[in-house]
Homo-oligomer: A and B are copies of this chain.
Amino acid sequence: MVTIKDIAELSGYSIGTVSRVINNHPDVSQKARDKIDQVIREQNFHPNSNARGLKQVLNTSISIIVRGFHNMFFEGLLEQVQADLRENGEEAEVTFLDENADEVQAALEILRVRKPKGFIFLGGNLEYFRAEYPGIDVPSVLLTNTTEELKLPGLSSFTTDDERAAGEVIRYLVRMGHRKIGIIGGSQSRTGSQVGYRRLMGCEKAFQESGIPFDLKKQYEPSLFSMQGGYDAARKLLDKAPDITAIFAIGDTIAIGAMRAIRDQGLCIPEDISIIGYDGIEESRFMIPRLATIRQDTEALAMRAVEDLLFRLNYRHPVRHEYVPFELVEGESVSIMDESPEI
């Protein structure tokens, strides 16, 4: 194996100077830089990352933590994030966690063992961030939730405005003539720490403003962000509220499971029951019928996350908390109710 020592000998400079060239330190003569660069290329030398890490304490990679293996939305988002990172010459390593896992705990463990220089979280529970984030001393970004209120140093966040987008969904369904609307997805707990709660809040607000009654107990069913979760939740919902004409699944993955459940009840989409999802995953465009949904802008989310993180890695810069635009995609899964029953 060729080491920095070999490069030093071959170039006629000391290992100190070689190291400075490798790390782009300014105080090196152009002559030395050229010569050393040439030898490095000739020898196809690559610094040993363990040795670097030993001194620099920090590793050179960025750790991406995905919370929820079954949530297909994260797959597309992850792809974007990885592409952006690669484009900027950054290495990334990915860890997948269970949807209910403590992602901050996991990050702390990763920080200890692998010492990434930064984290990007895909999904997160604010409670965990509140409680344990202070232990994380590298710049980080949370995607699909906002930590603005938590005021944690070093943690930026970018997300769709879930409350507003969910409100749009309800208003859209109401415009299409639906009055009995069921909602599935998200966790039972109403602690405000999960995206599910924000989306549900948006719905409730929209119902109120529209003057349409909404009975949470009867018209809502929690669900994991998985197809099977959506399937089970939809069945329960249809059981307890057979009079609903539309379902809002707060994740497309959930919606796909729900569609199958509706079909297994012998009902047709959208003739008998309408459904709309949330996320705008690629699959939604291929469903039969095409799934109506809220398209989150994964490109923008990924780009902001990567830009913000890399920027803060190199410069002292305040964290940011921003919303990214979304779009309601109509698809084919929502029908117009001719008779608006009880209005």
Contact = CB atoms under 8 A, between A and B. Distances in A.
A167 interface: no
A49 interface: yes
Interface stretch (A112-120, A188-196, A313-321): A112-120
A75 B290 CA distance: 23
**Which secondary structure characterizes the binding site on chain A?**
helix
Interface string A78-118: 01001000000001011010000000000000001111000
Contact of A288 (B51, B96, B115, B260): B260
Given A54-B48, A113-B49, A227-B283, A82 B96 contact: yes
A179 to B, nearest CB: 26
A275 B49 CA distance: 50
Q: How many copies does the complex hold?
A: 2
A259 B231 contact: no
B231 A260 contact: no
Interface in A46-61: 46, 48-51, 53-54, 59
A91 B256 CA distance: 32
Contacts of A288: 259-260, 263, 287-288
Contacts of A282: 227-228
Interface string A226-258: 011001000000000000000000000000110
Identify the 4 closest CB pairs spanning chains A and B, nearest first: A50-B53, A260-B286, A50-B54, A93-B93
11 contacts: A48-B54, A49-B113, A49-B115, A53-B53, A94-B96, A228-B282, A259-B286, A259-B288, A260-B285, A263-B288, A283-B283
Given A54-B54, A227-B282, 19 more contacts: A46-B113, A49-B113, A49-B114, A50-B50, A50-B59, A50-B115, A51-B54, A79-B96, A91-B113, A93-B93, A94-B94, A94-B96, A227-B286, A231-B286, A256-B286, A260-B286, A263-B288, A283-B283, A287-B288
